[in-house]
Structure 1
Amino acid sequence: MIVVHHLNNSRSQRILWLLEELGLPYEIRKYQRDPKTMLAPPELRAVHPLGKSPVISDGDTVVAESGAIVDYLIERYGDGRLAPDPGTPERLRYNYYLHFAEGSAMPPLLLKLVFDRVESTPGPFFVKPIARAIARKVKDSFVLPQIRQQLVYLESQLAERTWFAGEAFSAADIQMSFPLEAAAMRGGLDKNYPKLTAFLERIHARPAYRRALERGGQYDFA
Protein backbone atom coordinates (compact mmCIF):
# COMPACT_ATOMS: atom_id res chain seq x y z
CA MET A 1 0.00 0.00 0.00
CA ILE A 2 1.29 3.45 -0.93
CA VAL A 3 1.42 5.80 2.06
CA VAL A 4 1.43 9.56 1.50
CA HIS A 5 2.93 11.53 4.36
CA HIS A 6 0.75 14.55 3.85
CA LEU A 7 1.35 18.02 5.23
CA ASN A 8 -1.54 20.48 5.20
CA ASN A 9 -1.32 23.29 2.62
CA SER A 10 1.67 21.75 0.89
CA ARG A 11 2.95 20.26 -2.33
CA SER A 12 1.85 16.83 -1.16
CA GLN A 13 -1.69 17.72 -2.28
CA ARG A 14 -0.40 17.18 -5.84
CA ILE A 15 0.59 13.62 -4.98
CA LEU A 16 -2.90 12.84 -3.66
CA TRP A 17 -4.30 14.23 -6.89
CA LEU A 18 -1.96 12.13 -9.03
CA LEU A 19 -2.93 8.98 -7.13
CA GLU A 20 -6.60 9.80 -7.64
CA GLU A 21 -6.04 10.34 -11.37
CA LEU A 22 -4.29 6.95 -11.56
CA GLY A 23 -7.00 5.28 -9.50
CA LEU A 24 -4.49 3.79 -7.09
CA PRO A 25 -5.30 2.81 -3.50
CA TYR A 26 -3.35 4.73 -0.91
CA GLU A 27 -3.25 5.67 2.75
CA ILE A 28 -2.77 9.19 4.11
CA ARG A 29 -0.80 10.01 7.24
CA LYS A 30 -1.50 13.63 8.06
CA TYR A 31 0.86 16.14 9.64
CA GLN A 32 0.12 19.72 10.67
CA ARG A 33 2.37 22.73 10.27
CA ASP A 34 3.57 24.62 13.31
CA PRO A 35 1.10 27.57 13.47
CA LYS A 36 3.89 30.05 14.28
CA THR A 37 6.73 28.93 12.02
CA MET A 38 4.57 27.21 9.36
CA LEU A 39 7.24 24.48 9.24
CA ALA A 40 6.58 20.75 9.12
CA PRO A 41 6.58 18.92 12.47
CA PRO A 42 9.66 16.96 13.56
CA GLU A 43 7.74 13.68 13.24
CA LEU A 44 8.32 13.79 9.50
CA ARG A 45 12.04 13.23 10.12
CA ALA A 46 11.20 9.70 11.14
CA VAL A 47 10.10 9.15 7.53
CA HIS A 48 12.85 11.09 5.76
CA PRO A 49 15.89 12.80 7.34
CA LEU A 50 15.02 16.23 5.95
CA GLY A 51 11.57 16.10 7.53
CA LYS A 52 9.76 17.66 4.60
CA SER A 53 6.66 16.84 2.62
CA PRO A 54 5.81 15.31 0.21
CA VAL A 55 7.20 11.91 1.02
CA ILE A 56 5.69 8.59 0.07
CA SER A 57 6.49 5.10 1.24
CA ASP A 58 5.67 2.11 -0.93
CA GLY A 59 6.62 -1.00 0.96
CA ASP A 60 10.29 -0.57 1.82
CA THR A 61 10.75 2.21 -0.75
CA VAL A 62 10.71 5.81 0.46
CA VAL A 63 10.62 8.60 -2.15
CA ALA A 64 10.88 12.34 -1.45
CA GLU A 65 10.67 15.42 -3.71
CA SER A 66 7.56 16.06 -5.79
CA GLY A 67 9.16 15.50 -9.19
CA ALA A 68 10.85 12.28 -8.10
CA ILE A 69 7.58 11.00 -6.62
CA VAL A 70 5.71 11.79 -9.83
CA ASP A 71 8.39 9.99 -11.87
CA TYR A 72 8.26 6.98 -9.57
CA LEU A 73 4.47 6.65 -9.62
CA ILE A 74 4.17 7.15 -13.38
CA GLU A 75 6.98 4.69 -14.14
CA ARG A 76 5.77 2.01 -11.74
CA TYR A 77 2.00 2.36 -11.92
CA GLY A 78 1.16 4.59 -14.88
CA ASP A 79 0.87 1.89 -17.55
CA GLY A 80 1.30 4.57 -20.20
CA ARG A 81 -1.15 6.99 -18.58
CA LEU A 82 -0.52 10.68 -17.83
CA ALA A 83 2.82 10.81 -19.69
CA PRO A 84 3.46 11.31 -23.41
CA ASP A 85 5.26 8.64 -25.41
CA PRO A 86 9.06 8.64 -25.04
CA GLY A 87 10.95 10.31 -27.87
CA THR A 88 8.16 12.74 -28.75
CA PRO A 89 8.19 16.55 -28.50
CA GLU A 90 5.39 16.23 -25.96
CA ARG A 91 7.60 14.04 -23.75
CA LEU A 92 10.38 16.61 -23.87
CA ARG A 93 7.96 19.35 -22.76
CA TYR A 94 6.59 16.99 -20.11
CA ASN A 95 10.05 16.45 -18.63
CA TYR A 96 10.79 20.17 -18.85
CA TYR A 97 7.74 21.17 -16.81
CA LEU A 98 8.28 18.42 -14.24
CA HIS A 99 11.56 20.21 -13.42
CA PHE A 100 10.48 23.79 -14.19
CA ALA A 101 7.77 23.75 -11.53
CA GLU A 102 10.22 23.52 -8.64
CA GLY A 103 13.48 24.58 -10.28
CA SER A 104 12.27 27.87 -11.81
CA ALA A 105 8.67 28.67 -10.90
CA MET A 106 8.74 28.22 -7.13
CA PRO A 107 11.94 30.05 -6.01
CA PRO A 108 10.73 33.62 -6.69
CA LEU A 109 7.35 32.80 -5.15
CA LEU A 110 9.09 31.55 -2.02
CA LEU A 111 11.27 34.67 -1.94
CA LYS A 112 8.17 36.83 -2.13
CA LEU A 113 6.65 34.93 0.79
CA VAL A 114 9.82 35.45 2.84
CA PHE A 115 10.05 39.16 2.13
CA ASP A 116 6.33 39.67 2.70
CA ARG A 117 6.85 38.23 6.17
CA VAL A 118 9.85 40.47 6.76
CA GLU A 119 7.60 43.44 6.04
CA SER A 120 4.72 42.26 8.22
CA THR A 121 6.51 40.69 11.20
CA PRO A 122 6.83 42.94 14.29
CA GLY A 123 10.33 43.97 15.27
CA PRO A 124 12.33 46.64 17.15
CA PHE A 125 11.20 50.12 16.09
CA PHE A 126 14.71 51.15 15.06
CA VAL A 127 15.24 48.08 12.88
CA LYS A 128 11.80 47.58 11.34
CA PRO A 129 11.87 50.53 8.85
CA ILE A 130 15.24 49.37 7.51
CA ALA A 131 14.09 45.76 7.17
CA ARG A 132 10.92 46.86 5.39
CA ALA A 133 12.84 49.10 3.01
CA ILE A 134 15.25 46.30 2.11
CA ALA A 135 12.40 43.83 1.62
CA ARG A 136 10.49 46.21 -0.66
CA LYS A 137 13.63 46.98 -2.67
CA VAL A 138 14.43 43.32 -3.28
CA LYS A 139 10.83 42.52 -4.19
CA ASP A 140 10.42 45.47 -6.55
CA SER A 141 13.80 45.14 -8.25
CA PHE A 142 14.11 41.36 -8.51
CA VAL A 143 11.37 39.11 -7.13
CA LEU A 144 8.25 40.63 -8.67
CA PRO A 145 9.85 41.14 -12.12
CA GLN A 146 10.92 37.47 -12.07
CA ILE A 147 7.40 36.32 -11.23
CA ARG A 148 5.87 38.52 -13.93
CA GLN A 149 8.37 37.28 -16.52
CA GLN A 150 7.51 33.67 -15.74
CA LEU A 151 3.76 34.28 -15.81
CA VAL A 152 4.02 35.96 -19.21
CA TYR A 153 6.09 33.03 -20.47
CA LEU A 154 3.67 30.41 -19.15
CA GLU A 155 0.69 32.31 -20.55
CA SER A 156 2.33 32.20 -23.98
CA GLN A 157 2.92 28.45 -23.66
CA LEU A 158 -0.75 27.73 -23.01
CA ALA A 159 -1.68 29.97 -25.93
CA GLU A 160 0.02 27.36 -28.14
CA ARG A 161 -1.48 24.19 -26.60
CA THR A 162 -4.24 23.09 -24.24
CA TRP A 163 -1.99 21.57 -21.57
CA PHE A 164 1.65 22.13 -20.72
CA ALA A 165 2.99 19.05 -22.51
CA GLY A 166 0.55 19.18 -25.43
CA GLU A 167 -3.10 18.51 -26.13
CA ALA A 168 -3.43 15.74 -23.54
CA PHE A 169 -3.58 16.26 -19.79
CA SER A 170 -0.50 14.81 -18.08
CA ALA A 171 1.33 14.60 -14.78
CA ALA A 172 3.25 17.71 -15.85
CA ASP A 173 0.02 19.67 -15.34
CA ILE A 174 -0.30 18.19 -11.86
CA GLN A 175 3.26 19.24 -11.10
CA MET A 176 2.64 22.76 -12.43
CA SER A 177 -0.52 23.20 -10.37
CA PHE A 178 1.16 24.21 -7.10
CA PRO A 179 3.30 27.12 -8.36
CA LEU A 180 0.36 28.46 -10.35
CA GLU A 181 -2.00 28.15 -7.39
CA ALA A 182 0.61 29.90 -5.25
CA ALA A 183 0.95 32.62 -7.88
CA ALA A 184 -2.82 33.09 -7.92
CA MET A 185 -2.80 33.47 -4.14
CA ARG A 186 0.19 35.77 -3.71
CA GLY A 187 2.09 36.23 -6.98
CA GLY A 188 -0.15 38.34 -9.20
CA LEU A 189 -1.77 35.65 -11.33
CA ASP A 190 -5.14 37.17 -12.14
CA LYS A 191 -7.51 37.76 -15.07
CA ASN A 192 -4.68 39.48 -16.92
CA TYR A 193 -3.47 35.93 -17.62
CA PRO A 194 -6.59 34.34 -19.12
CA LYS A 195 -4.91 31.13 -20.30
CA LEU A 196 -3.40 30.44 -16.89
CA THR A 197 -6.65 31.36 -15.17
CA ALA A 198 -8.52 28.95 -17.44
CA PHE A 199 -5.93 26.25 -16.68
CA LEU A 200 -6.61 26.60 -12.95
CA GLU A 201 -10.34 26.48 -13.54
CA ARG A 202 -9.97 23.29 -15.61
CA ILE A 203 -7.85 21.46 -13.07
CA HIS A 204 -10.04 22.52 -10.15
CA ALA A 205 -13.06 21.06 -11.96
CA ARG A 206 -11.47 17.63 -12.45
CA PRO A 207 -13.21 14.94 -10.36
CA ALA A 208 -9.87 13.45 -9.24
CA TYR A 209 -8.74 16.89 -8.02
CA ARG A 210 -11.94 17.26 -6.01
CA ARG A 211 -11.58 13.79 -4.51
CA ALA A 212 -7.99 14.56 -3.49
CA LEU A 213 -9.17 17.72 -1.73
CA GLU A 214 -11.81 15.78 0.18
CA ARG A 215 -9.24 13.26 1.37
CA GLY A 216 -6.38 15.69 1.99
CA GLY A 217 -8.18 18.29 4.10
CA GLN A 218 -7.09 21.91 4.47
CA TYR A 219 -5.67 23.34 1.24
CA ASP A 220 -6.02 27.11 0.96
CA PHE A 221 -4.58 27.33 -2.55
CA ALA A 222 -7.55 25.72 -4.34
Structure 2
Amino acid sequence: MITVHHLNNSRSQRILWLLEEMGVEYQIQHYQRDPKTMLAPPELRAVHPLGKSPVITDGELTLAESGAIIEYLAERYGQGLLPAAGTPERLRCNYWLHFAEGSAMPPLLLKLVFDKIESSPMPFFVKPIARGIAGKVKRSFINPALRQNLDYLEGELGKSEWFSGDSFSAADIQMSFPLEAASSRAGLDASRPKLKAFLERIHARPAYQRALQRGGEYAYA
Protein backbone atom coordinates (compact mmCIF):
# COMPACT_ATOMS: atom_id res chain seq x y z
CA MET A 1 0.00 0.00 0.00
CA ILE A 2 1.30 3.42 -0.95
CA THR A 3 1.35 5.95 1.89
CA VAL A 4 1.66 9.66 1.14
CA HIS A 5 3.13 11.62 4.03
CA HIS A 6 1.15 14.75 3.34
CA LEU A 7 1.93 18.20 4.71
CA ASN A 8 -0.75 20.84 4.40
CA ASN A 9 -0.15 23.56 1.77
CA SER A 10 2.80 21.72 0.29
CA ARG A 11 4.07 20.00 -2.82
CA SER A 12 2.64 16.72 -1.58
CA GLN A 13 -0.77 17.86 -2.88
CA ARG A 14 0.60 17.06 -6.34
CA ILE A 15 1.23 13.47 -5.32
CA LEU A 16 -2.35 13.04 -4.12
CA TRP A 17 -3.56 14.44 -7.43
CA LEU A 18 -1.28 12.10 -9.40
CA LEU A 19 -2.60 9.05 -7.54
CA GLU A 20 -6.19 10.16 -8.08
CA GLU A 21 -5.52 10.55 -11.80
CA MET A 22 -4.09 7.02 -11.90
CA GLY A 23 -6.88 5.49 -9.80
CA VAL A 24 -4.34 3.81 -7.54
CA GLU A 25 -5.28 2.92 -3.97
CA TYR A 26 -3.31 4.81 -1.35
CA GLN A 27 -3.51 6.12 2.18
CA ILE A 28 -2.57 9.48 3.68
CA GLN A 29 -0.61 10.28 6.80
CA HIS A 30 -1.42 13.91 7.59
CA TYR A 31 1.02 16.45 9.06
CA GLN A 32 0.42 20.09 9.94
CA ARG A 33 2.86 22.97 9.64
CA ASP A 34 3.93 24.83 12.77
CA PRO A 35 1.63 27.90 12.76
CA LYS A 36 4.50 30.23 13.72
CA THR A 37 7.41 28.94 11.66
CA MET A 38 5.35 27.30 8.88
CA LEU A 39 7.87 24.44 8.97
CA ALA A 40 7.01 20.74 8.88
CA PRO A 41 6.71 19.00 12.25
CA PRO A 42 9.65 16.92 13.54
CA GLU A 43 7.59 13.73 13.14
CA LEU A 44 8.39 13.79 9.42
CA ARG A 45 12.05 13.14 10.24
CA ALA A 46 11.02 9.70 11.42
CA VAL A 47 10.00 8.99 7.83
CA HIS A 48 12.87 10.75 6.04
CA PRO A 49 15.94 12.38 7.62
CA LEU A 50 15.29 15.78 6.03
CA GLY A 51 11.80 15.92 7.50
CA LYS A 52 10.21 17.47 4.43
CA SER A 53 7.21 16.73 2.25
CA PRO A 54 6.41 15.03 -0.05
CA VAL A 55 7.58 11.63 1.02
CA ILE A 56 5.96 8.34 0.09
CA THR A 57 6.40 4.83 1.33
CA ASP A 58 5.57 1.90 -0.93
CA GLY A 59 6.34 -1.41 0.72
CA GLU A 60 9.99 -1.25 1.76
CA LEU A 61 10.65 1.84 -0.36
CA THR A 62 10.82 5.35 1.09
CA LEU A 63 11.11 8.06 -1.55
CA ALA A 64 11.32 11.84 -1.34
CA GLU A 65 11.47 14.67 -3.93
CA SER A 66 8.42 15.49 -6.04
CA GLY A 67 9.99 14.76 -9.42
CA ALA A 68 11.40 11.41 -8.34
CA ILE A 69 8.11 10.40 -6.73
CA ILE A 70 6.04 11.39 -9.75
CA GLU A 71 8.36 9.58 -12.16
CA TYR A 72 8.42 6.43 -9.99
CA LEU A 73 4.65 6.28 -9.56
CA ALA A 74 3.90 7.12 -13.19
CA GLU A 75 6.31 4.46 -14.42
CA ARG A 76 5.13 1.77 -12.04
CA TYR A 77 1.40 2.45 -11.81
CA GLY A 78 0.59 5.16 -14.35
CA GLN A 79 -2.04 4.90 -17.03
CA GLY A 80 -0.55 6.96 -19.85
CA LEU A 81 0.72 9.83 -17.71
CA LEU A 82 4.19 9.48 -19.22
CA PRO A 83 4.44 9.80 -23.01
CA ALA A 84 6.03 6.91 -24.85
CA ALA A 85 9.78 6.56 -24.40
CA GLY A 86 11.87 8.03 -27.19
CA THR A 87 9.23 10.51 -28.37
CA PRO A 88 9.55 14.30 -28.42
CA GLU A 89 6.64 14.41 -25.96
CA ARG A 90 8.56 12.25 -23.48
CA LEU A 91 11.59 14.53 -23.74
CA ARG A 92 9.41 17.57 -23.06
CA CYS A 93 7.75 15.77 -20.15
CA ASN A 94 11.13 14.98 -18.60
CA TYR A 95 12.23 18.58 -19.13
CA TRP A 96 9.26 20.01 -17.24
CA LEU A 97 9.60 17.44 -14.45
CA HIS A 98 13.02 18.98 -13.78
CA PHE A 99 12.19 22.59 -14.67
CA ALA A 100 9.47 22.89 -12.03
CA GLU A 101 11.87 22.58 -9.09
CA GLY A 102 15.17 23.44 -10.76
CA SER A 103 14.16 26.72 -12.44
CA ALA A 104 10.61 27.74 -11.53
CA MET A 105 10.67 27.34 -7.75
CA PRO A 106 13.94 29.08 -6.68
CA PRO A 107 12.81 32.67 -7.46
CA LEU A 108 9.41 31.93 -5.90
CA LEU A 109 11.09 30.76 -2.70
CA LEU A 110 13.40 33.76 -2.69
CA LYS A 111 10.42 36.08 -3.05
CA LEU A 112 8.73 34.38 -0.11
CA VAL A 113 11.86 34.84 2.04
CA PHE A 114 12.42 38.48 1.13
CA ASP A 115 8.72 39.33 1.49
CA LYS A 116 8.99 37.88 4.99
CA ILE A 117 12.02 40.04 5.74
CA GLU A 118 10.11 43.16 4.70
CA SER A 119 7.06 42.33 6.81
CA SER A 120 8.68 40.79 9.92
CA PRO A 121 8.83 42.80 13.17
CA MET A 122 12.31 44.09 13.99
CA PRO A 123 13.95 46.95 15.93
CA PHE A 124 13.03 50.32 14.45
CA PHE A 125 16.63 51.26 13.70
CA VAL A 126 17.18 48.06 11.69
CA LYS A 127 13.88 48.06 9.81
CA PRO A 128 14.73 50.63 7.08
CA ILE A 129 18.06 48.92 6.35
CA ALA A 130 16.57 45.43 6.15
CA ARG A 131 13.64 46.59 4.05
CA GLY A 132 15.93 48.55 1.77
CA ILE A 133 18.14 45.54 1.13
CA ALA A 134 15.14 43.23 0.62
CA GLY A 135 13.51 45.68 -1.77
CA LYS A 136 16.66 46.09 -3.82
CA VAL A 137 17.19 42.33 -4.14
CA LYS A 138 13.59 41.88 -5.23
CA ARG A 139 13.72 44.70 -7.78
CA SER A 140 17.11 43.83 -9.24
CA PHE A 141 16.98 40.03 -9.25
CA ILE A 142 13.90 38.22 -7.97
CA ASN A 143 11.12 40.08 -9.77
CA PRO A 144 12.92 40.11 -13.15
CA ALA A 145 13.57 36.36 -12.82
CA LEU A 146 9.92 35.73 -12.04
CA ARG A 147 8.76 37.78 -15.02
CA GLN A 148 11.20 36.00 -17.31
CA ASN A 149 10.00 32.58 -16.17
CA LEU A 150 6.33 33.48 -16.51
CA ASP A 151 6.85 34.97 -19.97
CA TYR A 152 8.69 31.84 -21.03
CA LEU A 153 5.97 29.54 -19.70
CA GLU A 154 3.24 31.61 -21.33
CA GLY A 155 5.03 31.18 -24.65
CA GLU A 156 5.46 27.44 -24.18
CA LEU A 157 1.75 26.94 -23.52
CA GLY A 158 1.11 28.84 -26.71
CA LYS A 159 2.61 25.85 -28.56
CA SER A 160 0.30 23.18 -27.12
CA GLU A 161 -2.51 22.84 -24.63
CA TRP A 162 -0.41 20.87 -22.13
CA PHE A 163 3.23 21.08 -21.19
CA SER A 164 4.39 17.90 -22.93
CA GLY A 165 2.14 18.28 -25.96
CA ASP A 166 -1.52 17.80 -26.83
CA SER A 167 -2.21 15.30 -24.03
CA PHE A 168 -2.29 15.76 -20.25
CA SER A 169 0.75 14.19 -18.57
CA ALA A 170 2.76 13.98 -15.36
CA ALA A 171 4.53 17.17 -16.45
CA ASP A 172 1.32 19.15 -15.90
CA ILE A 173 0.98 17.78 -12.39
CA GLN A 174 4.59 18.70 -11.60
CA MET A 175 4.22 22.21 -13.03
CA SER A 176 1.01 22.90 -11.12
CA PHE A 177 2.67 23.88 -7.84
CA PRO A 178 4.97 26.67 -9.09
CA LEU A 179 2.17 28.10 -11.21
CA GLU A 180 -0.32 28.01 -8.35
CA ALA A 181 2.27 29.64 -6.09
CA ALA A 182 2.94 32.29 -8.73
CA SER A 183 -0.78 32.98 -9.03
CA SER A 184 -1.03 33.32 -5.27
CA ARG A 185 1.98 35.52 -4.54
CA ALA A 186 4.10 36.35 -7.58
CA GLY A 187 2.03 38.28 -10.08
CA LEU A 188 0.58 35.59 -12.33
CA ASP A 189 -2.63 37.23 -13.52
CA ALA A 190 -4.86 37.72 -16.55
CA SER A 191 -2.00 39.35 -18.46
CA ARG A 192 -0.80 35.79 -19.11
CA PRO A 193 -4.01 34.13 -20.34
CA LYS A 194 -2.43 30.81 -21.37
CA LEU A 195 -1.14 30.18 -17.84
CA LYS A 196 -4.41 31.27 -16.25
CA ALA A 197 -6.34 28.97 -18.59
CA PHE A 198 -4.01 26.10 -17.66
CA LEU A 199 -4.79 26.62 -13.97
CA GLU A 200 -8.51 26.70 -14.71
CA ARG A 201 -8.25 23.44 -16.66
CA ILE A 202 -6.38 21.55 -13.96
CA HIS A 203 -8.65 22.86 -11.18
CA ALA A 204 -11.66 21.56 -13.10
CA ARG A 205 -10.32 18.01 -13.39
CA PRO A 206 -12.30 15.54 -11.25
CA ALA A 207 -9.10 13.90 -9.96
CA TYR A 208 -7.80 17.28 -8.81
CA GLN A 209 -11.03 17.90 -6.91
CA ARG A 210 -10.89 14.45 -5.29
CA ALA A 211 -7.31 15.11 -4.19
CA LEU A 212 -8.41 18.34 -2.53
CA GLN A 213 -11.16 16.53 -0.66
CA ARG A 214 -8.74 13.90 0.62
CA GLY A 215 -5.82 16.20 1.29
CA GLY A 216 -7.62 18.98 3.12
CA GLU A 217 -6.48 22.58 3.33
CA TYR A 218 -4.52 23.74 0.30
CA ALA A 219 -4.19 27.50 -0.01
CA TYR A 220 -2.99 27.57 -3.62
CA ALA A 221 -5.97 25.92 -5.28
Q: What is the TM-score normalised by the length of structure 2?
A: 0.99
CA offset at residue 144 of structure 1?
0.4
1:27 aligns with 2:5: no
Match of 2:173 in 1: 174
1:77 aligns with 2:74: no
List runs of 5+ in structure 2 lacking aligned partners: none
Match of 2:130 in 1: 131
Q: Helix, strand or coil: the match of 1:38? A: coil
Match of 1:214 in 2: 213
Q: Helix, strand or coil: the match of 1:160? A: coil
User: Hey, which bits of structure 1, 4+ residues long, moved more than 2 A?
Assistant: none
CA offset at residue 16 of structure 1?
0.0
Q: Helix, strand or coil: the match of 1:180? A: helix
Match of 1:148 in 2: 147
For residues 78 and 24 of structure 1, the distance between their equivalents in structure 2, rounded to whole angstroms, comes to 9
For residues 161 and 167 of structure 1, the distance between their equivalents in structure 2, rounded to whole angstroms, comes to 6
Q: Is the 2:75–2:82 contact (alpha carbons within 8 Å) kept by the matching residues of 1?
A: no
Q: Helix, strand or coil: the match of 2:158? A: helix
1:50 aligns with 2:63: no
CA offset at residue 75 of structure 1?
1.3
List runs of 5+ in structure 1 lacking aligned partners: none
For residues 98 and 108 of structure 1, the distance between their equivalents in structure 2, rounded to whole angstroms, comes to 17
- List per-residue Cα deviations over 1:35-88 (Å, max 9, x = no partner): 111000000000000000000000110010000000110111115x11111111
Report % sequence identity: 75
Match of 2:197 in 1: 198
- List per-residue Cα deviations over 1:137-181 (Å, max 9, x = no partner): 000000000000000000000001010000000000000000000
For residues 170 and 72 of structure 1, the distance between their equivalents in structure 2, rounded to whole angstroms, comes to 14
Q: What is the TM-score normalised by the length of structure 1?
A: 0.99
Q: Is the 2:42–2:51 contact (alpha carbons within 8 Å) kept by the matching residues of 1?
A: yes
For residues 190 and 39 of structure 1, the distance between their equivalents in structure 2, rounded to whole angstroms, comes to 28
For residues 159 and 98 of structure 1, the distance between their equivalents in structure 2, rounded to whole angstroms, comes to 19
Match of 2:161 in 1: 162
Q: Helix, strand or coil: the match of 2:38? A: coil
After superposition, the CA RMSD in angstroms is 0.5
For residues 140 and 147 of structure 2, the distance between their equivalents in structure 1, rounded to whole angstroms, comes to 12
For residues 22 and 6 of structure 1, the distance between their equivalents in structure 2, rounded to whole angstroms, comes to 18
For residues 199 and 78 of structure 1, the distance between their equivalents in structure 2, rounded to whole angstroms, comes to 22
Q: Helix, strand or coil: the match of 2:68? A: helix
Residue identity in the other structure for 2:14: R
